[in-house]
Amino acid sequence: MKEIGVGCTSCSLNKVKKGFTPNKINEDCEVAFLGTNGLTAFSQQDLFQGSEAIRLFEKAIYKVADPKDCSFLNLNLCITDKPDNWEPCRKHLIQSLKMMPRLKIIALVGADTYKLVTGKKVTFKDVFTKPFKHPDFPVELFPIYHPASVGHNPDMEPLIYSGIKQVFDYVSVKKKLVKPFKSVVVTKPEILHKILPYLIKQPILATDTEFTDLKIWLKEMLCISFSWEVRTGIGIPYKRWDAIQNKIVPFWQPPEMNLIKESIPKIFDGKQVVTHNGGAEWSTLKKEFKYDLVWTYDTMYRAHEIDCNYSKNLDSLVSRYIPENAGYKKDFWGDEIEDGWYKDKPIEQVVDYCNMDAANTFELAKIFEAINE
């Protein structure tokens, strides 16, 4: 759906169109500009060549970003004098929006675009740079002046610059207001006894484990983490490195170790279980608890379905789809994973990292589901 064929005859506009401009999509963009029609000419420079308005628009974007990092969308793909209906192309726009999972905001370019989307005729200065939500769009809409308005009134130039700058400023502010990550590391028996029944009640859980070795016959599980809401993780340590004994030992006393073992089937059975590489989690739980984990959704598999050419490791997917969470893997591991890494890291730190993995797995699943809808 990136480029609809020029020969489209979905509606009567094809009989009066002066040209055709497909949506220009950057799948990794955070900002998209939406116009009535012909807006993608801003990014391709093959229409309206030499237009002062187009040069001004690109110049304004270049002050704060690279136009190549943005997407340019049209309510109508056919270029006409005065489009009064965007219904024929609605499905194309909606499909285009699904291709941009990282999208944070859509800039509505011009009063005509605002009127077509909302059905309201307003004095544009009253809605300029005032974000609002619309049921047809997954993110907020941010009205800005159309660059062509400078042709009618040269004094509009500062407002055009200001509007585009405020779009990117608004995205930056929203990033700073992201919900802080809540990581709970359970280290006290009384908390463990409360948290396990709580986990059993959750209908959907993303889970992740950390273990000592990739070889199944050697690895021992250090911890297990769970997430059922965005940017939230609860982790339970299971074993730890004991430097005095020079070996892996249980974190808990026998009663708590047994309680965890008894609770694992109750936590997962009959639930929607989300994993990233479910096979690795299955092998860990099989070895530690003789439990056969059945997962219902795997983000690594789903990522391959969405884009088979992109890296499937969790860190790469987080960088692409949840950039505000990126970098935590390198903070924990450094440049590479060394044998015996668990000997140098406190178990609380390991569990905290595992919580991030579980929470990001849960959030990726929500993003991927939105893409597939």
Provide the pLDDT confidence category of residue 184 given band limits of 50, 70 and 90.
very high
Residue 143 forms beta bridges with which residues?
108
* Mean pLDDT score of the chain: 83
Indicate whether 55 pLDDT > 50.
Answer: yes
Position 200 scores a pLDDT of 96
pLDDT-wise least confident of 76-80, 153-157, 259-263, 345-349: 76-80
Give me the pLDDT at residue 79, please.
58
- Residue 336 pLDDT greater than 80, yes or no: no
Q: Which of 350, 343, 209, 215 is nearest to 289 (CA)?
A: 209
Task: Indicate whether 48 pLDDT > 80.
Answer: no
- Mean pLDDT value across residues 298-307: 91
Of 16-20, 46-50, 101-105, 350-354, the range with the highest mean pLDDT is 350-354
Nearest alpha-carbon partner for 276 in 243, 246, 316: 316
Residue 71 has a pLDDT of 87
| Mean pLDDT calculated for residue range 335-350 | 88
Q: What percent of the chain has a predicted confidence (pLDDT) above 70?
A: 83
Residue 356 — φ and ψ, nearest 5°? -65, -40
Which range is least confidently modeled, 68-72, 100-104, 148-152? 148-152
> What percentage of the chain exceeds 90 in pLDDT?
43
* Residue 84: per-residue pLDDT: 60
Q: What value does the mean pLDDT take over residues 225-254?
A: 96
Q: Rounded to 10 degrees, what is the CA torsion of 293, 365, 233, 243?
A: 60
pLDDT at position 8 is 59
Whether pLDDT at 3 is above 50: no
Region 19-46: mean pLDDT is 68
Confidence (pLDDT) at 308: 84
Q: Considering the entire predicted model, what is its pTM?
A: 0.64
Among 285, 87, 309, 311, residue whose Cα is nearest residue 205: 285
Tell me which of 56-70, 112-126, 238-252, 263-277 is least confident. Answer: 56-70
Could you count the other beta carbons within 10 Å of the beta carbon of residue 51? 16
Quote the CA–CA distance of 313 and 271 in Å, as a whole number. Answer: 25
Three-state DSSP string of the chain: CCCCCCCCCCCHHHHCCCEECCCECCCCCCEEEEECCCCCHHHHCCCCCCCHHHHHHHHHHHCCCCHHHCEEEECCCEECCCCCCCHHHHHHHHHHHHCCCCCCEEEEECHHHHHHHHCCCCCHHHCCCCCECCCCCCCEEEEECCCCHHHHCHHHHHHHHHHHHHHHHHHHHHHHCCCCCEEEECCCHHHHHHHHHHHHCCCEEEEEEEECCCCCCCCCEEEEEEECCCCEEEEEECEEEECCCCEEEECCCHHHHHHHHHHHHHHHCCCEEEECCHHHHHHHHHHHHCCCCCCCEEHHHHHHHHCCCCCCCHHHHHHHHCHHHCCHHHHHHCCCCCCCHHHCCCHHHHHHHHHHHHHHHHHHHHHHHHHHC
φ, ψ of residue 363 to 5 degrees: the values are -70, -40
Per residue in 240-283, pLDDT tens?
Answer: 999 999 999 999 999 999 999 999 999 999 999 999 999 999 99
The answer to whether residue 288 scores a pLDDT higher than 90 is: yes
Q: Which domains does the chain have, with CATH numbers?
A: 12-176 (3.40.470.10), 182-372 (3.30.420.10)
Burial track 220-248 (b if 16+ CB lie within 10 A, e otherwise):
bbbbbbbbbeebbbbbbbbbbbeeeeeeb
Helices 299-306 and 314-321, axial angle in degrees (round to 10): 60
The torsion defined by the Cα of 229, 231, 232 and 238, in degrees rounded to 10, comes to: 120
CA R_g for the chain: 26
CA distance linking residue 199 with residue 204, whole number of Å: 10
Region 43-54: mean pLDDT is 42
Residue 91 pLDDT: 76
State the pLDDT at residue 42. 43
* Mean pLDDT for the stretch of residues 86-98: 76
Please name the residue that has the structure tokens 């994973």: 337
Q: Is residue 73 a contact partner of residue 92, using CB atoms and an 8 Å limit?
A: no
